[in-house]
Amino acid sequence: MNLPTKLTVFRIILVPVFLVLLLCPMGLPEGLNRYMALGVFVLASLTDFLDGFIARRFKMVTDLGKFLDPLADKLLCVSAMIALIDIPDAVVKLPGVVVIVIIAREFLITGFRTIAVEKGVVIAASMWGKAKTVFQMAMIIILILNIDTTTMRIVSIAFIVAATVLTVISAIDYILKNKEVL
């Protein structure tokens, strides 16, 4: 197992650690668990960019990495969003419908990629897909921070809208650019 794949596996291992810290105060001083969860989420997010960079830069791309990397991203982001739906003290609530749209897009594109692979077509990540991931991760970070100011409320809402719009645009982009697969 090469370094990028080890980083991806590490990211997968961080998902339950993140969720426990976010959802279970464990007797820690108020808010400390949220900041610890934020640190774990940021670390996991950074491994996403680092493993991709290392794999491409040093030609360490593997089939296992191609399979695990998007799975790790989905586990991290979708788990975080589901957990954030019901955070009781959230300054800005993450609407369930947003999470449903994002999860639906992930199922759609995963299914689409599966069909493509069966036809011998590899669908690479697009600029829209990468932007979607960056905005989703940023949105999650902002929502975990939970800063109660007018400016941060506006920023939180803006990132929720941007992440949702980019999610839909990236799905449309994948399908239109690869419609011959259907």
User: Mean pLDDT per segment of 10 residues, for the chain of length 182 residues?
Assistant: 96 98 91 96 96 95 87 95 94 98 95 88 86 96 97 98 98 93 84
Q: Return mean pLDDT, the chain.
A: 94
**pTM, two decimal places:** 0.94
**CATH class assigned to 3-181:** mainly alpha
Domain boundaries, the chain: 3-181
Angle CA(125)–CA(127)–CA(133) in degrees, nearest 5? 75
CA distance 11 to 46: 9
